[in-house]
Structure 1
């Protein structure tokens, strides 16, 4: 059974190592991106760049056949590569007020800066930041909110509100912030996989690496199981009558007689045991 589990994990490891999903990279790396930043989208995935298919707002986009796109219209963009499928969606905003979050994995203990930007960077004053429905800060002239030493309870939806030039009060759309637990040390045994948070490490411990480590643990457990099973099998095997411990010489003599041995053989065996 352990051997079958090991083979299954090995197959899964190879599958994970070879698996790849299509990614849509954004430059500048903020979300949502804003149209007036001259945003460039790059599609990364399996297959040739010429096979890239672009989608805008859920519909096939006329620009296709290349893996890089300079955005000139606001909306939601996706790209597709034949070998790795459809990418996650990227939103390009052209709103009056936009709250931006860096495109990166946010871990506990990190510092992140949220920035509230007005359309085409017009002057903005009296900026308020909100987490869910709670007001966090009000800046008469500032437009950035720094969250230091992130914790899991920093996760949630954020928005900003402010006075944009002579156009009045505007409010941004909600942006979701997700804080993750850093993984610094993984302890793997044949039966237990325990991940212990410690110090922050580079994000994205490979799933394939974890499966390889788990596979090694299973293989070790399999060999130990086979060794223990062999020992149990040896213990269950019937003992050799000629090698029985002699606790009662008379009983041993009678036992050897029942095996139809020659008298000389019986005598020699008893002599050795006694």
Structure 2
């Protein structure tokens, strides 16, 4: 008697199950499209408590919004429509859409959701399981695979790009080979296994004064038990390989540049890998130094995974410091001030420091003068070449006796022309 009373106390007063998880509805065989006259089996797997209950758990079946008379765990159906099931105290299950076709050729796809990294299998089936020849599979109107006869089309590791509308075509011998036949188009959606990760910095309180990065993502509710691993990168260099920890402690920056980090989340088999956008961290001595502030770390604008991060240095600061020592009768910007009253604040408007343009001009002036002298020498050489072309004899005499000036010929180094001077002989 005491044991029965204890069991009654352990059972909830409302009679509801101890969990509110949805029951799992499955289809056998696992295809959403069947031929007219065929039957398939639906099975509802709900929550069964470990404790004994005073009445058995009943299963409710729905076709659309109509309650079916069966209360069994499994039922056979042949009517097209949307099926759901429910166990006492639990929510309604996810739906299964069953289609019935009267065509010669149908394309069968899985009833359950297909996630990234999982196999995607499709089956082109002929009426009464006749063999289909010259079989083509199409994805969004483009042929993707050809088989000589009936063969399933399999994508080993599905991606989001594999979503779309599929169709198949082929011929059948009824009794002779027919013209090509086409199935109806079927929509297929590859579900996202987990979201694109985002790299964030922990608050100073959570990080205990250090700079800690966290790679955050979210699994699909149906795949929340899927284990994920994380890796961290600085630019293109990995700073931590894949492991189970989603956080990384950044060492003290060694430069004054912005440092760019990103992370990657992946399944254990690496069948699905996704990388986060770039995250910019200030370098050592920067005005945004995370270690010198108690406020939450400022987040830089997130860059797309394909974009390159920014990398630039701080604006240089002038190292010149004006002296505050008072000098008797000192002159400041051409004005006389008594001792101890030299102004120490305010911009030096009257006596500006030399600008970078003036300094560059002074440094280049000797080089410009040298270049002008070389241009003058080159001009003189060119004038001799012109003289040689006009009067070779005069050029020969000029080059043989360079020390003795010719009283009859005068070459002007400033012009390429030759001037002949005629003078009397004493």
* Smaller-chain TM-score bracket: 0.5 to 0.7
Correspondence for 1:40:
41
Correspondence for 2:70:
64
Correspondence for 1:26:
27
Whether 1:140 and 2:148 are equivalent positions in the alignment is yes
Correspondence for 2:59:
52
Q: Do the aligned residues in 2 keep the contact of 1:164 with 1:170 (CA within 8 Å)?
A: no
Q: TM-score, normalised by structure 1?
A: 0.52
3-state secondary structure, aligned to 2:161: helix
Over residues 115-149 of structure 1, what are the superposed CA-to-partner deviations in whole Å (9 max), with x where a residue is unaligned?
Answer: 11123312322322111222212333233212234
Mapped partners of 2:67, 2:192: distance in 1: 34
Name the CA shift for 1:169/1:52 in 2 (closer, same or farther; >3 Å): same
Over residues 206-252 of structure 1, what are the superposed CA-to-partner deviations in whole Å (9 max), with x where a residue is unaligned?
Answer: xxxxxxxxxxxxxxxxxxx9xxxxxxxxxxxxxxxxxxxxxxxxxxx
Q: List alignment gaps of at least 5 residues for structure 2.
A: 1-17, 49-54, 204-214, 219-264, 273-293, 295-426
Q: Do the aligned residues in 1 keep the contact of 2:121 with 2:155 (CA within 8 Å)?
A: yes
Correspondence for 1:197:
266
Mapped partners of 2:165, 2:56: distance in 1: 35
Q: Do the aligned residues in 1 keep the contact of 2:159 with 2:190 (CA within 8 Å)?
A: no
Name the CA shift for 1:168/1:182 in 2 (closer, same or farther; >3 Å): same
Name the CA shift for 1:149/1:193 in 2 (closer, same or farther; >3 Å): closer
Matches within 5 A, 1:220-259: none
Q: Do the aligned residues in 2 keep the contact of 1:53 with 1:64 (CA within 8 Å)?
A: yes
The structure with the largest helix share of the pair is: 1
Name the CA shift for 1:197/1:136 in 2 (closer, same or farther; >3 Å): same
Q: CA deviation at 1:152?
A: 2.7
3-state secondary structure, aligned to 2:109: strand
Whether 1:116 and 2:115 are equivalent positions in the alignment is no
Q: TM-score, normalised by structure 2?
A: 0.36
3-state secondary structure, aligned to 1:94: strand
Higher relative contact order (CA 8 A, sep 6+): 1
Mapped partners of 2:25, 2:83: distance in 1: 9
Name the CA shift for 1:141/1:70 in 2 (closer, same or farther; >3 Å): same
Correspondence for 2:12:
none
Correspondence for 1:94:
100
Whether 1:84 and 2:86 are equivalent positions in the alignment is no
Q: Do the aligned residues in 2 keep the contact of 1:99 with 1:175 (CA within 8 Å)?
A: no
Name the CA shift for 1:173/1:85 in 2 (closer, same or farther; >3 Å): farther
Mapped partners of 1:177, 1:73: distance in 2: 24
Mapped partners of 2:73, 2:56: distance in 1: 5
Matches within 5 A, 1:170-189: 170-181=182-193
Correspondence for 1:259:
none
Name the CA shift for 1:164/1:88 in 2 (closer, same or farther; >3 Å): farther
Q: How many residues align?
A: 186
Q: List alignment gaps of at least 5 residues for structure 1.
A: 1-16, 204-224, 226-274
Output the aligned Cα RMSD: 4.0
